[in-house]
Amino acid sequence: MKKSIAAIIVLSCLLSVFGIMYYQSTNTIANLNRVITNQSREISTLTDTVNELSLQSQQIASLESIIQEKELVISNLYYENEMQKTAITQLETDLDGATFTLGRDMLVLPPDSQGFDCDDSALYMYLYFKGLGYKVRIVQGNLDLTDETESQGNHVWVWVESGGDIYPYDWGRYCPDSQHMEGYPVSYRELLWSAYLD
């Protein structure tokens, strides 16, 4: 009987020890599960952060590409502007040193258009040559006709007088042909009025 009691006591102790161990191992497993769950959440958060950073990196690379393209466009525009400035400076230098010789040189005027016609061209040449100190006459005629009447005139140009000679200029060019030596005088006021009406 004593042996049975002793066996029961030993068995009870063993069960208690196993129970304690089982409880502790269950708590340890639960704690490990909690740690694993927390680490999984952290890994998931880190993964999301990495993905977001990767997306931002792609966006930054795209923006850098766009910025480089714009920088190239701006650089090209700056270069073109500098070239234009250089050309304008050279032109101004050339004009400052230029001397206009009647009967040889020519003026550069805009092409014929709705906003600039022969009246405007003649007015420009009149003022230009007057500014150089020449005597200038405004002439109206018809270059398609010989001995045209005054009413047949459909074009206007100028005669520049120097040293007793007449130099006809039409649209900035020296035109010594016989057609340009014919014509009827037009007053500055008439030309101004005609240019204004156009």
- Roughly how many angstroms between the first and final C-alpha of the chain, as a whole number? 140
Same domain, yes or no: 29 and 83: yes
> Does residue 112 belong to any structural domain of this protein?
no
Confidence of residue 93 (pLDDT cuts 50, 70, 90): low
Could you read off the pLDDT of 115-153 as tens digits, one per residue?
Answer: 788 988 999 899 999 988 899 999 999 999 888 899 999
Residues 93, 1, single domain; the answer is: yes
Q: Domain tally for the chain?
A: 2
Are 155 and 186 members of one domain? yes
The contacts found for 125-131 with CB under 8 angstroms, 24 or more apart, are 125/157, 125/158, 125/169, 125/172, 126/158, 126/188, 126/191, 129/158, 129/160, 129/169
> Can you tell me which residue has the tokens 């977001």?
52
- Confirm whether 162 is domain-assigned: yes
Amino acid at 190: E
Same domain, 93 and 125: no
**In-domain check, residue 21:** yes
pLDDT value for 98: 46
Residue that has been written with the tokens 């270069």 in this structure: 79
Asked whether 158 and 191 are in contact (CB, 8 A), the reply is no
The answer on 79 and 12 residing in a single domain is yes
Say whether both 150 and 185 belong to one domain. Answer: yes
Residues 86 and 124 grouped into a single domain: no
Domain assignment of residue 10, yes or no: yes
The single residue listed with the structure tokens 């459909």 is: 154
* Nearest residue to 187 (alpha-carbon basis) of 140, 124, 148, 129: 140
Question: Do residues 71 and 123 share a domain?
Answer: no
Looking at the fold, whether 9 and 80 belong to one and the same domain comes out as yes
Residue 105 lies in a domain: no
Q: Tell whether 84 and 125 lie within a shared domain.
A: no
| Final residue before a domain boundary, out of 98, 127, 146 | 98
Of 64, 98, 132, which closes a domain?
A: 98
Residue 160: partners with Cβ closer than 8 Å, 6 or more residues away: 102, 129, 134, 135, 136, 166, 167, 168, 169
List Cβ neighbours of 161 (8 Å cut-off, separation of 6 or more): 134, 135, 136, 137, 167
Query: For residue 111, is it left (φ>0), alpha (ψ between -120 and 50) or beta?
Result: beta
Q: Are residues 34 and 2 in the same domain?
A: yes
Is the confidence at residue 1, as pLDDT, over 90? no
Specify if 82 maps to a domain: yes
In a domain, 109, yes or no: no
* Domain closes at, from 28, 63, 98: 98
Range of the domain at 148: 118-197
Query: Where are the extended beta strands (E) located within the chain?
Result: 135-141, 155-162, 165-170, 173-174, 184-186
- The pTM (predicted TM-score) of the whole model is 0.49
| Cβ atoms < 10 Å from Cβ of 87 | 10
Q: Does residue 106 lie within any of the structural domains?
A: no
CA distance 158 to 148: 17
pLDDT in tens, 28-73: 766 767 877 777 788 778 788 878 878 888 888 887 887 787 777 6
